[in-house]
Amino acid sequence: MLPLLIVKLGDTIPDLAARRGGFETWIAAALGDAPVRVVDPRFDAHGLPDPGEISAAVVTGSRAMVTDRAAWSETTARWLARVVAAGKPVLGICRRRRSRRIAKSHY
């Protein structure tokens, strides 16, 4: 079974992370026994796998602004386009302004 990839693009507040783990921990826990792989392209853009190596992707929120066009953000955007083109489900979790908006990409 191919793993679900958690693409970690941000961190929760340090006190909460120390007690409860980061976003990737929460997502993995909700998935139960499903195989999971975590990659953080802010620090390892080469860790983004070929879309054929994953079953789906969950992308965490980030404090970074997409309009900043950071190199890791641009690399991740190109990779996500390949994932969607390959027909893999993608769930993005946005945490702007303390609200939770969840959007599923359509392929």
> Which pLDDT tens digit goes with each residue over 4-63?
999 998 888 888 888 888 889 989 999 889 999 999 999 987 899 999 999 999 998 787
For range 68-83, the mean pLDDT: 89
**pTM (predicted TM-score):** 0.83
**Residue 95: which pLDDT band, with cuts at 50, 70 and 90?**
low
Residue 40 near residue 5 (C-beta atoms within 8 A):
no
Please tell me the predicted confidence (pLDDT) of residue 96: 57
CB 96 within 8 A of CB 63: no
pLDDT at 102: 37
- Which two three-digit tokens encode residue 88? 């893999």
pLDDT number for residue 79:
94
What distance in Å separates the CA atoms of residue 72 and residue 80, rounded to the nearest whole number? Answer: 12
